[in-house]
Amino acid sequence: MRSFSFRLETLLRLRKNSRDRALADYAKAIEQREFAQSKIAEIEDYLAELDNKKNLKVSHIFSVNEMILLQSQIEKAQEIKSKQLKNLSRCIGLESSRKKIFLQKEAEFKSLEKFKDRKAEEHIVFERNKEEKEQEDIISARFVYDRVSS
């Protein structure tokens, strides 16, 4: 039986490499989104801590300078949170687009891989039928030879 060779093997390898790069990009986008989410959680914790300090100071006597400093810290933390929310939004959009690209590359790779499997199966069936025909020809030739010899 002749061995199967897929003529589009190079294209299959290229699509696999492309899919792997898209997967790596998608994973990096997920990592960036998760990092942005953790930064927002840190900022929210910091804001809650500042709010607690503010509430404690309100119940006690405090200086105006302390209150101004605390208020400026809260405003700065809210600005940072706003920037991080924009960054998170950008990361989510990037993740979505990278996911689409990965799914497209995955589909292209899988379709070519299925095509290869189908062609390999067709090759096996063709070669098996060819061998069976050759065996039948040998058996028929031997039968005719035995009849002519006797």
pLDDT for 58 equals: 67
pLDDT for 65 equals: 81
Q: Is 9-114 CATH 1.10.287.1700?
A: yes
Can you give the pTM of this predicted structure?
0.73
Please check the confidence at residue 101 and state whether its pLDDT lies above 90: yes
Q: What is the pLDDT of residues 38-92, one digit of tens each?
A: 999 999 999 999 888 887 776 676 677 888 888 899 999 999 999 999 999 999 9
Distance CA 111, CA 108 (A): 5
DSSP string, 51-105: HHHHHHHHHS---HHHHHHHHHHHHHHHHHHHHHHHHHHHHHHHHHHHHHHHHHH
- pLDDT exceeding 90 applies to what percent of the chain? 66
Handedness of CA 66, 72, 75, 79 (dihedral sign): negative
Q: Whole-number mean pLDDT of the chain?
A: 90
